[in-house]
Amino acid sequence: MTGAKTADLLRVKGGAAIRGEVSVPGDKSISHRAIILGALAEGETRVTNLSPGEDNRRTVDAFRAMGVAIIEEESAQGSRVVRVTGAGLRGLRAPAAPIDCGNSGTAMRLLAGVLAGQPFESTLIGDASLSRRPMRRVAEPLRRMGAHVEGDGGEAGEVLPPLRIRGPAGGEALRAIDHVSPVASAQVKSAVLLAGLYAGGVTTVSEPAPSRDHTERMLAAFGAELRVEGPRVSLRGGPRLHGRTVEVPGDLSSAAFWLVAALVTPGGEVRVNRVGVNPTRTGVLDILRRMGAQIEVVAAGEAGGEPVADLIARGSDLSAVEITDPELVVRAIDEFPILCVAAARAKGVTRIRNAAELRAKESDRIAVMAAELGKLGVRVHALPDGVDIEGGGPLAGARCRSHGDHRVAMSLAVAALAAEGETVIEDSAMVATSYPGFAATLERLIAPR
């Protein structure tokens, strides 16, 4: 059966089109931030459409472990509502055990920023994949602010989880810093800004290009004083944050799987409802349109201070492109695996550069996508900072691996739709970190043959 999931295997038969209408889970990045700022605010924060994925569950559990009351319930319309009774900036309690971030690098890095300002010691741990992910870019600025951050050693002085974190001795405030990040990273920027809430004075983060700005938008909505000047963000420490209602828009990264699935299957057409279209995140749409994709943006509106819209994609003849602009790469960094699938169906050679950051994600996404698409018959040449993908040729079903990466698993499922025969994807349980209902939705959207 197309889209069938048995045990830890996802089986997908090729030759079918994707057709229908779908709503995707709440944006994972925004969900993390809504829980974090709700926990640090005074009063109640009401969050609707929180992502149901395992990654966001880790953030909820982390703040419960630090004494924050978080209640989950259903609204009158049957949607999921999370109520967070904020503890205020100084109200967190020391957790009784290490905080397990699972597979979530976002949870670990953002929590590190919060914990850097606490008067107690805490430890952040993760699964085998997260324990290999580099944390020095976060640890170094937090140390400059006066926090004690220790991790396991790695090559060239890298800092690896578990992270052991404690704020300045005697409950003193952190030092405000002017941090110049060598790469555009929303996670690093957010960690420093969250630590900046506990600093005396103004903390500033500068990047080579603007990364996603969900943290800045939400900090302002909760009452923080900050200034944004292009890739430079400044935050004044010690604000009183106030609880509020947050509607989390649909996750564009999750929507991208269905958009590309419709684009690469003849006769495909899908409408994805109320998706976040924050300009710092829409690089994937810009790239797909450059390839010749038919994508409409309709019913534009706003949710939780973020722009939203419905997205409609139809089967299209795609052409290869060159993706080298660092700013565009940053705006599409999480969609790289599914963009590789689009490139595999685009005529010509697609070249992606300036994307070395992909080697430090849940997997080495450059090496992994090159290897797995190769199994399906795609010619891919991996480079230190990108790939060359020769697209437009026939694909054949194969046995593939997710390498413990949820986005790789879902991207391979989409590629399988355009392949002849059946594709089996091993270790597909990792999809639950961001999209627990992916396999069921895939099966529902398959058009009858």
Return d(Cα 239, Cα 13) in angstroms, integer: 54
Across the strands, what pairs with 205?
A: 179, 233
The amino acid occupying position 74 is: E
The amino acid occupying position 205 is: V
Are the CB atoms for 322 and 393 separated by under 8 Å?
no
Are the CB atoms for 318 and 340 separated by under 8 Å?
no
Return d(Cα 418, Cα 369) in angstroms, integer: 16
Alpha-helical regions (H) of 17-104: 28-40, 54-65
Looking up tokens 């069938």, which residue turns up?
4
Return d(Cα 249, Cα 374) in angstroms, integer: 35
> What is the CB neighbour count within 10 angstroms for residue 318?
24
Are the CB atoms for 253 and 259 separated by under 8 Å?
no
Report DSSP letters for 114-177, one per residue. HHTT-SSEEEEE--TTGGGS--HHHHHHHHHTT-EEEEEE-GGG-EEEEEEEE--GGGPPEEP-
Return d(Cα 329, Cα 333) in angstroms, integer: 6
Are the CB atoms for 147 and 159 separated by under 8 Å?
no
Active-site residue (options: 334, 388, 405, 427): 334
In a 13 Å sphere around the CA of 286, the CA atoms on its Cβ side amount to: 17
Return d(Cα 142, Cα 230) in angstroms, integer: 23
Return d(Cα 108, Cα 85) in angstroms, integer: 22
Give the orientation angle of helix 28-40 with respect to helix 214-222, to 10 degrees. Answer: 30
Total length of the chain: 449
Are the CB atoms for 275 and 251 separated by under 8 Å?
yes
Tell me the two tokens of residue 33.
Answer: 């931030």
Q: How far is CA 284 from CA 277, 287, 342, in A?
A: 10, 5, 11
Q: Indicate if 364 belongs to the active site.
A: no
Q: How far is CA 391 from CA 53, 360, 397, in A?
A: 32, 25, 16
3-state helix, strand, coil in the chain (%, to 5): 35, 30, 35
Q: Which residues are catalytic?
A: 334
